[in-house]
Chain A
Amino acid sequence: MPPTLEIHQFVPSLAPRDAVGQHSLALQEFLRSLGVESQIFADEIKPGMEGKALPFNTFRGRSNTNRYLIYQASTNSPIAEFLSNRPEKKLVNFHNITPSAMLLPWEFGAGLAMAMADHQVGKFSHHSTLAFTVSKYNEGALRTLGYKATAVAAPFIELGETHSRKPRKVSNGASWLFVGRVFPNKAQMQLVAALACYRRIYDSTATLTLVGSFGSKAYHEAILTYAKSLGLEDAVFFSGQVTDEELLRLYRDADLFTCASRHEGFCFPLIEAMRNSLPVVAYSSSAIPETLGAGGVLVENDDPVSFAGAAHMLLDDVKLQGRTAKGAATQLERYSLQRARLEHHRVLRTVIEDLPDLKEETGP
């Protein structure tokens, strides 16, 4: 009798409400649903995740031809070296690394960590049988890092019920929303500039709410000073981290989701905005175009006036909102749980031939 198929995951940090952690748990559930033995090992197991993972250095076992190890590569971690010395076949599930140049002037330590992570993940390419990731943009980054065998599979996103809203024209008191930690690559300062342009000619009472943890004190202070210099101190709000319920309320109360981020490996908040039928305007960078599709308006020109113009176009045009809603529906289907299962199965099958067949599903 052949040994049981085992596919274990190694995660630098398993934390609640963290995209990598949620993805790893969903992948584990999927693998287990196929009858595969699957465990998560982590370097850091944050409060609330106890019992869902084991410390990575407790991983034992002799070499087993039917055991595969997946490294959830998202940052610099001792797991990389640990796995390099393991005899099993290794797969890399890549979550992208923010370019250090974007962070170094603001947050030297974080920038350095990203540079080290880049180096480490690149070095790990020699040990990888297959590297898979959630976007073509990320796949390009993997190729640059030296990975030869790469693939793309939709991320596991637990999408709740889609919240529909009737398209509506907003010409007064528009409420802009952005969700993402306060960090230089998220470019909240560019959103403040765009809001200044928008308020100047379209809607003098528009506001911007920035949701997310304060990852960089220096950048947070720069945003505050910038807003004050432009007379927007009463129009830009920071909510910090919020609960799931509060976040849902913010998505549903806002008029427009705005994203000026300069680097995203995927951008989950865009999916969340589309799920809440919130019109979206986003700067066209990194993986944002493929995540957004036609579910919102992209701004290719790095110019706050263009961003403000796009925001006005969308908020002023009910028909256009209807078109982006259709585009959003396509994207939500593209990123459904069913699609993620199918694509992960297809990708893993390319190297794990005895991966059991996918059970026929009848719904998304």
Chain B
Amino acid sequence: MTDKISDSKNPSSAADSAAKAARDFQREMQDRIAAEVDKRRGEGKYPPSFEAKLRTVYEGLLPKGSTKDSKDLSHLMYMVDRTAFMDIDVPLASNKPGVSKLKTVLRKLMAWYLNYLLQQLTNFHANLLQLLHAYDLRMQRIERRLTEFNSEAPALPVVLTDDAVGTILSHLGGPEGRILVTSCTSSSLLSQLDANGYDAYGIDTDTSRLDALASKGTDARFDAPYEHVAGLKKSALQAVILQGTFELLSTADKVALLKMLKTSLVKGGKLIVLGRPVASDLEGDLRIAVDLAPGRLFASETWQYLLSRNGYSCVAQVAAVEGGLFIVGAVGGEE
């Protein structure tokens, strides 16, 4: 009881120290949870197709108006259209004797006033609706041009020679910290990082190829680059290797991704961009993927320019690889 009385006399200091202890405890818990999850994913216990199903079934059950689907917007527009116009035709029926007549009289008496107000409201709503429809049309046009992932497009393959992998590993330095590899099923890079003792994980949206990778004990997850990086904590990664589909994102999405990644990297963390030069003689799947993409391939100089403009340092082309690939390295992270 003595403790409680002393706490009561100085409740704020007792509460502060309890709150600090709780924060420390929960920080420890987050590390343990992350380690447990990494371990299980690393063991292939959660095939990416399983996690993809959890997400897609969930999203399929969300009501209209709560997803990113443009059909949702059409539904909301329809609802706005339906409710924009108002009248003063208040129901007059009543079970009580005489009340219906009273309501009729009241409505007639107030009609001159309410109609005046309502007319102004309706004019405003009509203008607003017109504006919304104009925006909707423009939005649809933009969405058609900038679909992030065209489901009909083949994956962008990344063929890496042993030399290229060696260059990437030496640029990364020692196997310290967490490394993210995008479009991880596009190349053998993730498996090679694993084999060399790096703490690496990958993301992709091709569930069957992800499952194949995960079954070999590789930490490969179902996610798109932009969404995944948006959910990362500050300084969560030691290095990031951008390869594959990211190259075909729109320019605005590429820049947004670079900005987010700068925050996700530890101070001094490395970003490696695996790109391919703009070429007119692309063939096969590569030609199709590029033609169907919202964005176009950037040259090494363009990546270097964008990285420098977005706060990365030590930006330079590390190597040009056989097969047309180039490797751009940069250092990111914030104080």
User: Which residues of A line the B interface, CB within 8 A?
Assistant: 104-106, 189, 193, 196-197, 200-201, 218, 222, 225-226, 229-230, 284, 289-290, 292-294, 297-306, 309-310, 312-313, 323, 327, 330, 333-334, 338-339, 342-343, 362-364
B65 within 8 A of A: yes
Q: Contacts of A327 on B, CB cut-off 8 Å? A: 21-22, 25
B58 within 8 A of A: yes
- Is the pair B50, A200 in contact by a Cβ cutoff of 8 Å? yes
Q: Contacts of B51 on A, CB cut-off 8 Å? A: 305
Closest to A229 in B: B57
Closest to B76 in A: A105
B323 within 8 A of A: no
Closest to B17 in A: A330
- Is the pair A338, B8 in contact by a Cβ cutoff of 8 Å? yes
Given contacts A200-B46, A226-B61, A293-B18, contact A309 B54 (CB under 8 A): no
- Is the pair B62, A105 in contact by a Cβ cutoff of 8 Å? yes
A-B contact pairs, 27 of them (CB 8 A): A105-B62, A105-B64, A105-B65, A189-B58, A196-B54, A222-B61, A226-B57, A229-B57, A284-B26, A290-B19, A293-B18, A293-B22, A297-B29, A298-B26, A298-B29, A300-B30, A301-B37, A304-B54, A305-B46, A305-B51, A306-B37, A309-B37, A323-B25, A327-B21, A327-B22, A334-B15, A363-B1
- Closest chain B CB from A347 CB (angstroms): 12
Q: Contacts of A301 on B, CB cut-off 8 Å? A: 30, 33-34, 37
Q: Contacts of B37 on A, CB cut-off 8 Å? A: 301, 303, 305-306, 309
Closest to A317 in B: B32
User: Assuming A201-B40, A201-B45, A339-B8, what are 18 further A-B pairs, CB within 8 angstroms?
Assistant: A104-B65, A105-B65, A106-B63, A189-B61, A225-B61, A230-B53, A293-B18, A297-B33, A299-B33, A301-B30, A303-B37, A304-B54, A305-B37, A310-B33, A313-B29, A313-B32, A333-B4, A342-B11
- Is the pair B8, A342 in contact by a Cβ cutoff of 8 Å? yes
Q: Contacts of B65 on A, CB cut-off 8 Å? A: 104-105
- Is the pair A197, B29 in contact by a Cβ cutoff of 8 Å? no
Partner of A312, one of B36, B46, B63: B36
Q: Contacts of B58 on A, CB cut-off 8 Å? A: 189, 193, 226
Distance, CA A236 to CA B37, complexed state (A)? 24
User: Which residues of B line the A interface, CB within 8 A?
Assistant: 1, 4, 7-8, 11, 15, 18-19, 21-22, 25-26, 29-30, 32-34, 36-37, 40-41, 45-46, 50-51, 53-54, 57-58, 61-66, 231
- Is the pair B41, A305 in contact by a Cβ cutoff of 8 Å? yes
Given contacts A294-B21, A330-B18, A338-B8, contact A306 B33 (CB under 8 A): yes
Distance, CA A327 to CA B51, complexed state (A)? 33
Q: Contacts of A364 on B, CB cut-off 8 Å? A: 4
- Is the pair A200, B45 in contact by a Cβ cutoff of 8 Å? yes
Q: Contacts of B36 on A, CB cut-off 8 Å? A: 309-310, 312-313
Q: Contacts of B1 on A, CB cut-off 8 Å? A: 362-363
Closest to A102 in B: B66
Partner of A197, one of B4, B11, B30, B54: B54
Q: Contacts of B57 on A, CB cut-off 8 Å? A: 226, 229-230
Closest to A292 in B: B22
- Closest chain B CB from A139 CB (angstroms): 14
Distance, CA A341 to CA B141, complexed state (A)? 61
- Helix, strand, loop or mixed for chain A's interface? helix
- Closest chain B CB from A78 CB (angstroms): 19
- Closest chain A CB from B13 CB (angstroms): 13
Q: Contacts of A333 on B, CB cut-off 8 Å? A: 4, 7
Distance, CA A364 to CA B1, complexed state (A)? 9
Q: Contacts of B46 on A, CB cut-off 8 Å? A: 197, 200-201, 305
Given contacts A230-B57, A334-B18, contact A343 B11 (CB under 8 A): yes
Partner of B11, one of A297, A303, A309, A339: A339
- Closest chain B CB from A299 CB (angstroms): 6
Distance, CA A299 to CA B91, complexed state (A)? 51
Distance, CA A299 to CA B30, complexed state (A)? 7
The residue among A302, A334, A338 with the most chain B CB atoms within 10 A of its own CB is: A334
Closest to B29 in A: A297
- Closest chain A CB from B98 CB (angstroms): 25
Distance, CA A222 to CA B63, complexed state (A)? 9
Distance, CA A229 to CA B15, complexed state (A)? 45
Distance, CA A309 to CA B45, complexed state (A)? 12
Q: Contacts of A303 on B, CB cut-off 8 Å? A: 37
Distance, CA A106 to CA B11, complexed state (A)? 42
Q: Contacts of B15 on A, CB cut-off 8 Å? A: 334
Closest to B46 in A: A305
- Closest chain A CB from B304 CB (angstroms): 34
- Is the pair A294, B50 in contact by a Cβ cutoff of 8 Å? no
Partner of A193, one of B26, B29, B40, B54: B54
Closest to A309 in B: B36
The residue among B18, B26, B30 with the most chain A CB atoms within 10 A of its own CB is: B26
Distance, CA A202 to CA B25, complexed state (A)? 24
Q: Contacts of A302 on B, CB cut-off 8 Å? A: 231
- Is the pair A294, B61 in contact by a Cβ cutoff of 8 Å? no
- Closest chain B CB from A265 CB (angstroms): 18
Q: Contacts of A300 on B, CB cut-off 8 Å? A: 26, 30
Q: Contacts of A304 on B, CB cut-off 8 Å? A: 54
Q: List the 5 closest pairs (A to B, CB-CB), nearest first.
A: A105-B66, A309-B36, A293-B22, A294-B25, A294-B22
Distance, CA A248 to CA B36, complexed state (A)? 32
The residue among B21, B32, B63 with the most chain A CB atoms within 10 A of its own CB is: B63
Q: Contacts of A218 on B, CB cut-off 8 Å? A: 63
Distance, CA A201 to CA B51, complexed state (A)? 13
Q: Contacts of B66 on A, CB cut-off 8 Å? A: 105-106
Closest to A343 in B: B11
Q: Contacts of B32 on A, CB cut-off 8 Å? A: 313
